[in-house]
Amino acid sequence: DDLAAAISAVDARRIRRLAADGQKLDRPAGAYHRPFFWLPMGEKVGLQSPFVVLHSCSATARRIRNMLPVLIAGASAPPRPFSPWRRRELPIRLSSSKPLRALQNSEGGSRPLGRAWPAVSAALFGSGFLLGPLLDGIHSRVGLQVYGNGALDLGPLHTHILVPPLLGAFYCTVGLLQLFLDERAPPRSKATGSPRDTATSLIVLTMFIELSAEMYRAGVPSNAEAYVLFAVAEFVWLFLDSSWLGFALACLVGVACPLAEVPLVRLLECWSYPNADVQLFGTGLMSWTTTCYFVYTPFLANLARLLKSRLADDNTEGKEE
């Protein structure tokens, strides 16, 4: 009873202090000291206010006695009464219907290929088998290279019987190497692998090869053409990729591919360059062809990421079903 009387005295003093200031309660007085409700909401409090109704000390004491066993036993406190001033807590929902693991890799990077690598490899090889000879035919049309044993003419297209499988292996090797690097380090390039970026890089590659072919046909000196094409290739990298990892891979491809042509030209005599301007291991090559392989790399990075994002997601959805 003494505890209840002390609590009531404290709240009575609080009410008198509010009344002395002439304030109007904007919430029930019970909200100041739960679980008791003593004042009706919105009443003007004054020294002579007849609306102040206090619970008796005995009723307060009985309520405290009823709560003590529950608190001593370690049970949770009773729920608080509803208050219109309590902020509602809404559940947090994801705005996207995709699972979290799909959101982590919307651009085709960092998630392992898993069982999708045969499908991605086959798609890359098929793309090189069909698309590669068409791009290579731009150079053969102006007589940059002359095919020897195994030459194949398909209408206006002059190629070699080994060119389609070789370019298919080229697409597959560079594309898988790019995906392997993506798994080790998150891709930070502009080559996101979206359909738009892939189409843009293909158009830029075609225009670059066409530019080199037209300069060769016009009789531009090879050293001048090399300077121009090297400068344009740097701009293409900055426009399509702009990452140092992509630059390093493009340089590797630009150096390794002309070296790989040496046994094909010297030993197998698949083709030759009539106006070669550089000799490498006794084999005549064109110095600026390395820029064509350099510009090829951003397109292959986009193509590989695009195929992975499509085929890997299809494989994952098939396993979940």
pLDDT tens-place string over residues 135-154: 999 999 999 999 988 888 88
The confidence score (pLDDT) of residue 115 equals 78
Q: What is the mean pLDDT of residues 248-259?
A: 95
DSSP characters for 259-302? HHHHHHHHTS--EE-TT--EEETTEEE-TTHHHHHHHHHHHHHH
Does residue 301 share a domain with residue 207? yes
* Residue pointed to by tokens 């206006």: 156
pLDDT exceeds 70 at position 321: no
d(C-alpha 158, C-alpha 147), whole Å: 8
Q: Is residue 203 part of a domain?
A: yes
Q: Is residue 93 part of a domain?
A: no
d(C-alpha 131, C-alpha 250), whole Å: 20
Of 301, 256, 297, whose CA–CA distance to 280 is shortest? 256
The confidence score (pLDDT) of residue 52 equals 39
Does residue 269 share a domain with residue 210? yes
Name which residue leads in pLDDT, 105 or 135: 135
Contact present, 108 and 309 (Cβ < 8 Å): yes
Angle at 183 between CA 123 and CA 317, to 5 degrees: 55
Going from the C-alpha of 200 to that of each of 70, 135, 249, 291, 306, the distances in angstroms are 72, 15, 19, 18, 13
Does residue 161 share a domain with residue 55? no
Phi then psi for 152, rounded to 5 degrees?
Answer: -135, 125
The confidence score (pLDDT) of residue 301 equals 94
Q: Is residue 97 part of a domain?
A: no
Does residue 145 share a domain with residue 20? no
Q: Is residue 299 part of a domain?
A: yes
Does residue 53 share a domain with residue 200? no
pLDDT exceeds 90 at position 126: yes
Residue 159, helix vs strand vs coil: strand
pLDDT exceeds 70 at position 198: yes
pLDDT exceeds 60 at position 168: yes
72, 94, 121 - which closes a domain: 72
22, 39, 72 - which closes a domain: 72
Does residue 195 share a domain with residue 59? no
Does residue 167 share a domain with residue 266? yes
Q: Is residue 89 part of a domain?
A: no
The confidence score (pLDDT) of residue 224 equals 94
* Average pLDDT of the residues of the chain: 76
Does residue 118 share a domain with residue 23? no
22, 51, 72 - which closes a domain: 72
pLDDT exceeds 50 at position 35: no
Instruction: Out of 84-88, 166-170, 247-251, pick the least confident.
Output: 84-88
Q: Is residue 136 part of a domain?
A: yes
Q: What is the mean pLDDT of residues 265-292?
A: 91
pLDDT exceeds 80 at position 218: yes
d(C-alpha 141, C-alpha 216), whole Å: 11
The confidence score (pLDDT) of residue 12 equals 64
Q: Is residue 269 part of a domain?
A: yes
Q: How confident is the model at residue 225 (pLDDT cuts 50, 70, 90)?
A: very high
Does residue 46 share a domain with residue 127? no
Does residue 180 share a domain with residue 125? yes
Does residue 273 share a domain with residue 194? yes
Share of the chain above pLDDT 70, in %: 62
pLDDT exceeds 70 at position 29: no
Does residue 119 share a domain with residue 67? no
Number of folded domains in the chain?
A: 2
| Residue range of the domain that includes 23 | 2-72
Q: Is residue 80 part of a domain?
A: no
Amino acid at position 213, single letter: A
Best-predicted range by mean pLDDT among 67-76, 104-113, 187-196? 187-196
